[in-house]
Amino acid sequence: MTDEHDSTPRPEDDAARLGLVVVGEAAALHSGDDAALDASEQNIRDTIDELVDEPLTERQEEVVERLAAAGGTLTAGLSGALAAQTGRSVDDLLEGAARSVVWQQRLAQERDERAERGEAEDAFDPRDDHRGEREDAGGQQRDRRNHDGHDEA
């Protein structure tokens, strides 16, 4: 996830890593497994420690950890609600969210690579992920509604 010319991760890489930590927290919350929750909380702490350039104060670290946990809580709640509404499993939705995070990071990397090669910005099509189908958290790339606007079975 880093530029081959620089060992410093790009901000998009760090953001993707944090996004995956949040999705991991949501998955741990949905699992109801105390060990998974403990591991997720440790993952939050470890990730923050690795991403900061200078040690955070105890308060700053606590605030950042709580922000990541709150993001996981929101993600868990929204994925649960979406699962109930669409009949999909929470696991499938969280997997889609993780794919979406990785997809966004990949798009940013491709954009940077094109810029390094001097290609025009308009040459980049953000809908092209090398498979012809955009991945996102809810599968919105595939229209599952019939002509009346109702969900198809």
The top-scoring range by mean pLDDT among 86-95, 109-118, 133-142 is 86-95
Output the pLDDT for position 27: 96
Predicted confidence (pLDDT) at residue 123 exceeds the cutoff of 90: no
Angle at 78 between CA 92 and CA 131, to 5 degrees: 40
More confident residue, 41 or 146: 41
DSSP codes, 78-111: HHHHHHHHHT--HHHHHHHHHHHHHHHHHHHHHH
